[in-house]
Amino acid sequence: MDKKQLCNTSQDPEVRKGPWTMEEDLILINYIANHGEGVWNSLAKAAGLKRTGKSCRLRWLNYLRPDVRRGNITPEEQLLIMELHAKWGNRWSKIAKHLPGRTDNEIKNYWRTRIQKHIKQAENFQQQISNNSEINDHQASTSHVSTMAEPMETYSPPFYQGMLEPFSSIQFPTINPDQSSCCTNDNNNSINYWSMEDIWSMQLLNGD
DNA sequence: AAGGGATTCAACCGCCTTTAT
DNA sequence: TATAAAGGCGGTTGAATCCCT
C-alpha cells in the first residue's frame, strides 16, 4: 500500500478534523491522566476520539499538556529564539527544547509572524541604504558609507538587537512606522480561550 | 457601524526517521 | 534484512480576530 495513503486518514469519513471541542479536550486529558501518553493511534481509538493519533498527539503537546506555556513570549525568550535560530535555522523542535514550556509550533509561528517580518523590513531598509550608497558612490567616489550596506546573507544575533519586544525603540527605521507596533501582543492576553486551569479544575471536579 | 485587508495561530499535510516485527 | 506502523518535524493553510478607513 502507498505510504501516503497510510498516513492520510482524511479520506475516512469517521475521522474528525478541524478545531477541537471542549468535550474532545476533556476526553483526551482524562484518558492521558489515567493511562499516560504514547501509541497515539490506539490511544485515540481507546479514548473514543474520532481523531487521528497524530491529531491527538499534536493537541496534547501543543495545547493540553499541563506544563505548556502560551502567549507572552518574554524579551529573554525572544533573544534566545533569535540566537538559537541564527545557530540552527528552522530547527524548531530543537530550539523549543531550550525554552521550557514552549512548543515548536508556537516558536515557529512566533518567528514567522513577528520576527521574520522585522527581518524583511530591515532587509528592505538595508537595500534602500545600499541603493542610496551606490548613488552616493557615483556622486562622490568616497567609500565611507558602506558599513550598513553589506548584504545580509545570514541573520546574526547582533542584527536582531533593537527588534526586541517590548523594547520597540527599534534601532533601524521601519519602512512603515505603523507596523512597528504590531508586536504589542497585549491584546492576546484577552483572547477568548478557556484556560487550561479551567480544564484541569473541571477534570478535578470530575473526580479523576 | 460596517467593510475589508492584515495578522495570528491552531491544526493539517506530507515527508523523513525511528521502532517493532 | 525487509517491511509496516508510529512518531517527529517543518511547511502550509484557513478560520478567527484585529485594526484601519
pLDDT, tens digit, for every residue of A154-175? 334 334 444 444 333 333 333 3
Residue A12: its pLDDT value, please? Answer: 60
C-alpha cell at A162: 533593537
- If you measure CA to C1', which residue is closest to nucleotide C5? A6
Instruction: State yes or no: cis peptide before A166, omega within 30 of 0.
Output: yes
Per-residue confidence at A28, pLDDT binned at 50, 70, 90?
very high
3-class DSSP state of A164: coil
Greater pLDDT, A135 or A67: A67
Distance, CA of A196 to C1' of B7, in Å: 24
Q: Within 10 A of A62 (CB to CB), how many other CB atoms are there?
A: 14
pLDDT digits (tens, 9 = 90+) for A193-207: 344 445 554 444 444
Residue A139: its pLDDT value, please? Answer: 52
Does any strand B atom come closer than 7 Å to the Cβ of A187? no
* A63: DSSP letter: I
Greater pLDDT, A127 or A46: A46
CB A45 within 8 A of CB A10: no
Instruction: Find where cell 562622490 sits.
Output: A140
Residue A55: its pLDDT value, please? Answer: 92
Element (H, E) at A136: helix A116-139
Does any strand C atom come closer than 7 Å to the Cβ of A39? yes
Residue A115: its pLDDT value, please? Answer: 81
C-alpha cell at A58: 499534536
Provide mean pLDDT across the span A113-136.
71
* A188: DSSP letter: G
* Domain A13-65 = CATH 3.40.50.970: no
Contacts of A52 (CB under 8 A, 6+ apart): A9, A15, A40, A41, A44
pLDDT at A29 over 80: yes
Domain boundaries, chain A: 13-65, 75-174
